[in-house]
Every structure is written in structure tokens, then in C-alpha cells.
Structure 1
Amino acid sequence: MLNVVNMFPMRYIFHGLAVYFLLFLCVKWAIHLTAIFYGKWKLHRKTVPPSSEVPWPGVSIIKPLMWVDPNLYSNLETFFTQDYPKFEILLCVEEESDPATMVARRLMSKYPSVECRLFTRAAAVGVNPKINNMQPGYAASRYELVLISDSSVRMKADTLRDMASRMTGQVGLVHQLPFTCDGAGFAAALQKIYFGTVQARIYLASDFLGIACHIGMSSLVRKELLEEAGGLAAFGRYLAEDFFLGRWVVGRGWRTCVSGQPAWQNPGACEVSGFLARLTRWAKLRAAMVPVTILVEPLSECAVLGVCASWGAARLLGADPCGFYLVHALVWLLLDWALLSVVQNGALPFGKLEFVTAWLFRELSSPCVYVRALCSPTVTWRARSFRLRWGGEAEQLVSRV
């Protein structure tokens, strides 16, 4: 009799878990649909051309550069050709010997009418090498808006105009959805699928719900907000400075907003191992900054959630777990295809078979990336090693080689 009594609490626990898994699955599908419809409405919309009658705010574009890849020149050139009335470009490298300085000087000579300055010495204001690199350029910036843009990002001629036009009312930060240019090979397809599905899903749904979700590949921010925080140097103790910058903006009563154009990453090199290392680093940063993601993030993946939801459906509804899992995976795949097509805004550069292959690889490798991220708090970034602390602060272990 005692054993029967003791079994009742476990039964309720299992039923509760089954309900939780199924509800979690419904929420994920709702996020999928929200991202698809919101992305269709939000992205790739035409903006009004600049007019002399409208006082467009000046923009200081800060480009942190480090080393040279085959696409650096063409990527950087797109910033010199922006269709915008008032902007300056501040090119920042850590040291004069960096070969990126030659690329910068070539473009400065080619476009003498564009206001551009080159800074060849980083400032030591924190452990974050990107902040240290950008600090001299930020200190010299003159305009009320500051655009921080990674070296691998390229822009269309009207991108800066699109971002500035959304800086209205209580919007303090406009950021672009991270995406990638078309490329050849499996690694390029893998990256495009990740940014156009996993990243886009959270990015677009968060913007729709008014939740700050900010990755600093390309971000336009009001300089007054940066100055209130103490400038860029105030975020130098973090590796994920973009997360804490977004949190600061929201904490001051301002909103963040996603631009109508994605941030087109166009790196010169594209390898699967390098991309997985990048995902591992990001997972480590998320776990250190928001520890609750350690519990929630694995369940957000198709493979893990499918197993849990299939068990829940079999327990509560008597469904066949294998059949339920296959339907779940098929629905997830189709929704991802639809979302990727919305973000791409055109034909995908690969066929359906390559999409399915790369999609399966990403989904099945995701748990491995997550486990690997939790095995060590050490992060390698920009030829340096760092140890993460809870809360997101970092300690440098090995300086640049």
C-alpha cells in the first residue's frame, strides 16, 4: 500500500512534464509563425530617399579592422558609397603593421571626398579587444549617431538611410538582423541556414514582442546614450559588449528596433570548423551572461524538443512517439525553409537536398556544441584567450599571439 501511495506523486510529476513539453513545443511553433509573418512585413521594405528638406542626423561609422581577407576591400568600399547626406568613416586597427591599414589607405585615396580617418593604435580600456580597437575612433567621432559595424559586413547603398530613418521617438538603438551573403560550398550553406532560421527566428519574434535582442555586428546607437554610460570604454570589461549595450539602452527607457535590411556578412574564409567554434563561443557567452539559458536553450532545439514532446504526446495522448517525432521534424524543417526564404528575399543559392543536408547537420550538431560550451569557461577570440565569469565579465589569460 505504501508503494502505491508513493507512486502517485511521480505520476503527477511525469504528467506535468509531458504538459510542459507539449506547451513548449506550441510556443516554439508560435515563434516560428510570428517570425515568418513579421519578417515578411518588416524586412526589405523600400525607404524614402534622402531629401535636402529633411535634417538627417550625422552618422559616425566605426569600423574595427583586423587582418585582411579576400573580401575586405569590397566589403569596406560599400561604406564609402552610402547614399546618405552626412557621415564620417572611422577606420580602426590595433597597430600600424596590420595589413588592413593598406586596404584602408587605398580606399581613402580612391574616395577623397568621403570624410574618413584612420586610427592605427588601440587603447587599453578593458579586456575586450574590439572595444580597445574602436576606442580611438569613438573618441574622435563627431556626430550624434554612431554606427558600429564589423569588418565582414557589407551594405547596400541605402542601408544607412534605412537604419537612420528608424531612429525615431524613443528608439535608441537600431540593429540589423545578422545574415550572410551567398557563397559556394557546404559551410556557406550551413551559415546561411543558421542565421536565416535559428537567429532570425529569435531576432524577429523578439522585435515583434518589444524584447531587446541585439547582436552587435551592425548597430546604430545614439551617442548621448553611450556617453551616459561612460562611452564605449564602459563596456570594455565584457566580451559580449553588444548584449550589455542593448540592456543599457533599454534600462534607460529607450527601445531597440530591427532595421528593414539584414546585415550581409561576407567573410573571405568559410569553414565548418570555424563556424562551429564561433557557435561554441557564443553559447559560452550566453551561459555566463544569462545562466538560465543553461536549462532552457537545449530544449529550444528541434532534436531535443522533438524527443521530449514525443514522449509527452505518447504519455498524454497515446500518440506513436516515432510518428509524432517525424511530423514534428518535418513541420520544423518546412517552417525554417519558409523563414529562410523570407530573410533571403529571393531564390536560395542551393537546392532542397543541400538545404536538408545542412539543416540536419546543424540540428544534430547543436547538442554537441552546447555540451562542448559547458565543458570550459575559456573563450578564444581574436588570437587571445579569456576566462568568463558569471555575469558576463571576462579575464584575459593569454594576450595576442
Structure 2
Amino acid sequence: MSEAPSTSVGGSSSTDSQYALPKLVLSSGCLIWYVTLWALGILGCRTARKRYKLQPRSPLASAPATSAPGVSVLRPLKGLDTNLYENLESTFTQEYLNFEIFLCVADEHDQALGIVRDLISKYPDVDAHVVVGMFEIVGVNPKVNNLMRAYRQAKHDILWVLDSNVMVAPGTLARSVDALIGPPDISPSSRRIGLVHHVPFAWATEYALGSRLEEAFLNTNHAKMYLAINTVAIDSCVVGKSNLYRRSDLERVDGSLKPSSSSVRQEGAPGDRGLAAFGRFLAEDNMIAGALWHELGLRHDLSCDIARNAVGSMTLSAYIWRRVRWVRVRKRMVFAATMVEPLTESVLLGCLASAALKHLAGVPPWLFLPVHFALWLAVDLDVFSSLAGHPVPADSRLAFLGAWMMRELLALPIWVLAIVGNEVEWRGRRYSVMRNGEVRRVGNTTSALWSWWVRKSKRQSDYYEPLDVAQD
């Protein structure tokens, strides 16, 4: 009987020894991943500081119309968006002498038409056109359908597509054309720039809870990773709030994401090439960017401007379902990246690193985690400051900090909710997201839970995202 404890101790020691190597490998892998994510975060922070510190005036801002490349600006509209007058006016006041504007609405009774006509009257020297009605239905994406007529009528090859809730600085167009053209001494062997995009920067005009969460998300962690990924530039990563590209390039792609030499027309595709080919996608902006990158081998670039994204009164439920929708779309487009997404967020990443450090070095979680979150917050606030041109205002700092913390805590539950389904809601209609982000209608009936969430967030979602929920 005296040998029993010895056997137990020996067994425990043997078990510990058996799992020692896997624990060591797992802990080391967690720390390597942690360091990698921090490197990306610091890269994004450094890029924000460097790129957005100064906004030099482009020579094209004062160049005569005959020497500046022509640009056709396409703005899809629906309803009275937050800050709509100022958003649209920022297009009329661009410091550029060779551009035209197409303001597109699907319905002749759309309330946005009043503002459009006021601006055209205020700026008679600007070459502006109003396009009413969707005369070419190319897919389920209402934004693409709304733009098709303007796309056909545009007289310039360079297209600048801006969402209606976006406001830009007067020099944005000139600097964006500079980036698209590239420096004159660029090597012939270098990949040409095919698309110029802008980091979205949210600013809320009505501080509902969802509005604050959207600000805390877009202006910190999202911007940080967006800048870092585009700096590394190993693949396409574009948000379509404000994109500049050539129609001649778009007419050579079909959304297959296969090199143009081997690309074949997909059966059932609503359009062979050009903008019409992207009417079947929910995230047409991301797919256009990916097609230019993969099918034509073109690169993307960011100018030193931001796309100021006006956010209206957004409830918590509206914020959650907006995030759910885009996670479900990304899941069908970039599955691997979407599945590791929780491991890039501060909470789960910090917990994994804390467990690894405790195992490898005996560092207690109560000591590591506060330092981790404090440094993560400091980097995020630095990114905000770089993009905004100033720190978070003192009178809203506490509210912003609370929204930031809530956003971080909600990231994992929202991801889990998004992963378990493939359906998204557009104004009371349900769609199933299929391969590559294509969508199809699945019927009118909804579950009681889904209907409750829709009724609760419908007004705010439509107010904030008119382009995504426009009529078919």
C-alpha cells in the first residue's frame, strides 16, 4: 500500500511528460501568431501616420481641362441619406477641371431628387446629369442596376464610384487620379495600378448606440487592419465606399477571378464583361477589385484621402445585423480568412497569448491582460487620430472608450451568429449567399426571431444603407 502514492505520482509525471511537447508547440504557436498580429497592427498604425499626415495639392488640381484626364463620377442615390446635401456637394466642389457627375436614382419620386436639383442649380458650371429609373436590370444588386445607364453614358474612361453617404475633400479626385496614373518614372515591368480606393472613416451625426459602435469599429481596428493588409498587398482588400478605376479595364473582366487568358464565361452570369457582370454579387465593389487584381494582374493603391462615411441613427440591432451580413458574405468569398477572423480580435487573441505566456514563462493573466488591452487601445486611438487629423474629442472620449470596449466584446458573438447561417436580409426579403458572394432569393417567409430583429432595426438600417436595401 505504501507504493500506491509513488505509482500515482509517477503516472502524473508520465502524463505531464506526454503532453509537454504539444503544449510547448501550441503555446509557441500562439505567441508567434500574437507577435504577427501586433506587427500588422503597428504597420497599420505607422501607415496611417505616414500616409494621412499631409495631403499635398496635386498639380492636376490646377491643370487645364485639356491636360487633365477626364473622369466620370457615378453616385447611386436612394432617399434622404444622412448629410446627403453636403455629401453630394463635396463632389461638385472638387478641385479638378475635367469631370462630369452622374446622380442616379431608381424612382422618379425619390426624395433625393430635390437636393440633386438644388445642387445643379447652385453649380451651373459643373457638368452634372440626373439619371432617373433603372433601365437595365442585370442582377439582384440594386446598386449595380441603378448605375448601369450612367455607366453606359459616361464619356470618360476613368470612373469614380462613390456611395451616397460619403463626403470627400476638395482635392480627393486630383490626388486619386495621380495615384491611378502613377509616377512618370515607373518601371515598364511594374504592375500597373488598376484601382484607387479610400479608407472609410465613420462620423456619426446622431449618437445612438449602434452609431457609436460603428465609429469605434471603422475608425480603429478596421482601419488599422485595412491599411496593414493593403500595405503588405498580397491580395485584394477593398471596401467600395469610394473607388476609382478605368472602364476599359472593367470591360475586360467577368468576376471569375481567373486570369483573363483562361477566363471563360460562367453559365447563368447576367453579363459577360464589365459592370453588368457584377450584378449577381452582393459585394460588387470587392468583387470588381478582386477581378482587376486576379484577372488582369493589376494592383490597387490608396491615396492620402479618406472617405468620410456619414452615419445616422443606428440601433444596436442594426449594427449587429450589418456586421452579420458582411461576415456571411466574406465567409462565402474568403472562407479561410473569415474562419481565423476571431483570432485577430483583441479579446480572444489576448486570452490565447495570456495562456501561452503563463505556460511558458509563468506570467499571470492579471498582469498580462491589462497591459495587452491598454496597448491595443493606444494603437487604435493613434490610428483614429491619424485619420481624423485630431484625437478623439475630449467631450466624447468616455463614450468612445465605452463603445470601443463593447465593440471588442461583441466581435466574437457576432462572428458566431454569422457563421451558423448563410442568409441575409434586404428590406424584408431573405437571400441566400452562395459561392463567391453571389445571392439568390429564398422566399418571403421569415422566422419569428428574424422578423422581430428586422422590425426593430429596419428604419435605422434603411436610413444608413440605402444602396444595399434598394428595390430590386
Aligned to 1:375: 420
Which residue matches 1:218?
Answer: 242
Residues 45-84 of structure 1 deviation map (CA, whole Å, 9 limit, x = unaligned): 2122322398221111111111113521221111111111
Q: Check if 1:45 corresponds to 2:89.
A: no
| C-alpha deviation, 1:267, in angstroms | 3.5
Q: Does 1:201 align with 2:224?
A: yes
- Residues 50 and 161, structure 1, Cα contact 8 Å, conserved in 2: no
Matches within 5 A, 1:125-140: 125-140=138-153
CA deviations 1:64-116 (Å, max 9, x no partner) are 11111352122111111111111111111122222222322232233222112
TM-score, with structure 1 as normaliser: 0.93
Distance 1:150 1:165 in 2: 21
Structure 2: distance between partners of 1:393 and 1:254? 23
| Distance (Å, rounded) in 2 between the aligned partners of 1:59 and 1:28 | 38
Which of 240, 247, 252 aligns to 2:290? It is: 247
Out of 156, 161, 165, the residue aligned to residue 148 of structure 1 is: 161
How far residue 339 of structure 1 moved from its aligned partner, in angstroms, is: 1.4
1:92 aligns with 2:104: yes
Are the counterparts in 1 of residues 105 and 146 from structure 2 also a CA contact under 8 Å? yes
Aligned to 1:228: 252
Instruction: Specify the SS of the correspondent of 1:298.
Output: helix
Q: Quote how far apart the aligned CAs of 1:300 are.
A: 0.6
Matches within 5 A, 1:294-373: 294-349=338-393, 350-373=395-418
Q: What is the CA distance between 1:4 and its match in structure 2?
A: 7.7
Amino acid at match of 1:25: Y
Answering whether residue 316 of structure 2 is matched by residue 269 of structure 1, we say: no
The residue identity in structure 2 corresponding to 1:215 is: V
- Cα distance between partner residues in 2 of 1:398 and 1:83: 48
TM-score calculated relative to the size of structure 2: 0.80
The residue identity in structure 1 corresponding to 2:112 is A
For structure 1, which runs of at least 5 residues remain unmatched after alignment? Answer: none
Deviation at 1:21, TM superposition (A): 1.4
Q: State the distance in 1 between where 2:89 and 2:434 align.
A: 38
Cα distance in structure 1, aligned partners of 2:382 and 2:346: 16
Q: Where does the alignment leave 5 or more consecutive residues of structure 2 unmatched?
A: 1-9, 183-191, 254-272, 445-470
Q: Equivalent residue of 1:136, what SS?
A: helix
* Whole-angstrom CA distance in 2 between matches of 1:220 and 1:242: 11
- Which letter does structure 1 place at the counterpart of 2:142? P
1:20 to 29, 33, 39: 29
Deviates more, 1:379-388 or 1:315-324: 379-388
| Alpha-carbon shift at residue 388 of structure 1 (Å) | 0.5
Distance 1:244 1:70, change over 3 A: closer
**Which of 1 and 2 has greater Rg?**
2
Q: How does 1:78-117 map to 2 (within 5 A)?
A: 78-117=90-129
CA deviation vs aligned residue, 1:338-386 (integer Å, no higher than 9, x gap): 1111111114234442232111111011112111112321112356432
d(CA) in 2 for partners of 1:86, 1:127: 33
- Cα distance change on mapping 1:382 and 1:233 into 2, 3 Å: farther
Aligned to 1:121: 133
Q: In the alignment, which residue of structure 2 is the partner of 1:161?
A: 174
2:199 is matched with 177
Q: What secondary structure is seen at the aligned counterpart in 2 of 1:396?
A: strand
